[in-house]
Amino acid sequence: MKRVSMLIVASLLIWIILSYVGARYASHPKLVDLPEPNHFFDFPVEEMTLQTTDNVRIAAWYIKGDSTKAVVLTNGIRGNRRGLVERAKLYAKAGFGVLLIDLRGTGESEAQPISYGWYERHDIHAASDFLRKKGYTQIGAHGLSLGAAATVYGLQEQPDYAFIILESCYGSMRDALNNRLEMKHIPRFTTFFMRKFSEWHLGLRMEQLRPTNYIKSAQMPVLIMAGDSELRVKKKETEALYANCGSSNKSLHYIKGAKHVDLLNHSPEAYLEIVGFLMR
């Protein structure tokens, strides 16, 4: 019995230690040095540093538009501005002012824990404030995955976007985590301590991380996109996000055969057909 008890205690300690390491790794920043913007663009792009209201430095590329319209582009978890270049070119060609940002803890922005979109919403606010000061009056937000979730969370403070586009947005952080466990055939109970450590480390509760709750306040045009074969964000979550959206002008589109990938890169023609109305 003594050996059994020692084994149980040792197993519990290993579980707790691995959970702590897993929680810290999941929110660990991923900073990278990016090439100069002229490596990606053949027109003028200005490098910017923005300051958020909670005093975090955010790296950005700014493309001046020739209209009153502008958009903030944000990437997914551990992504950066590099993954937004082709979308930026589409908007710029249509005359939009464009601001591509590295969310905190990614790219060349300040190293901060990744909070799955919760604190990253302040980065999007800083970007849209910058565009307002530049004189744009119709400002949209276009986010991918975590960037989409951050856009939705930001509706608490900034509900006046001209439009929002959400690509592959998770319905709740709990579902997002469970989906990844299912893909790896790992029992859900194993994340109990990891969730608790994450909440302690980030200073928020897992139940706060539910875009399906915050999208109820959306009143602007909303376009929701996802792959019809996504495993990390299941169809029922995407459809719950759409159903809960408070906007009377909303649409939901699936990209055929796409999983949790760059939808524009996967199916450029289908993608352009869906978002093309904005480019006119």
Helices (H) and strands (E) in the chain, counts: 10, 10
Q: What is the pLDDT of residue 279?
A: 66
Give me the domain span that covers residue 163.
32-190+209-279
Within a domain: 154: yes
CATH number at residue 108: 3.40.50.1820
Within a domain: 151: yes
Cα 215 to Cα 206: distance, rounded to the nearest angstrom? 17
Instruction: Please report where in the chains the tokens 């439009």 appear, as a residue.
Output: 163
156-174: string of b/e by CB count within 10 Å (b at 16+)? eeeeebbbbbbbbbbbbbb
Whether the CB-CB separation of 46 and 138 falls below 8 Å is answered with no
Q: What is the pLDDT of residue 42?
A: 92
Within a domain: 173: yes
Map residue 51 onto helix, strand or coil. Answer: strand
pTM of model > 0.85: yes
Map residue 80 onto helix, strand or coil. Answer: coil
Within a domain: 20: no
Q: What is the pLDDT of residue 20?
A: 79
Residue 177 in tokens: 């985590």
Indicate the number of domains in the chain.
1
| Residue ranges in the chain whose pLDDT is less than 50 | none
Q: What is the pLDDT of residue 280?
A: 65
Cα 85 to Cα 184: distance, rounded to the nearest angstrom? 32
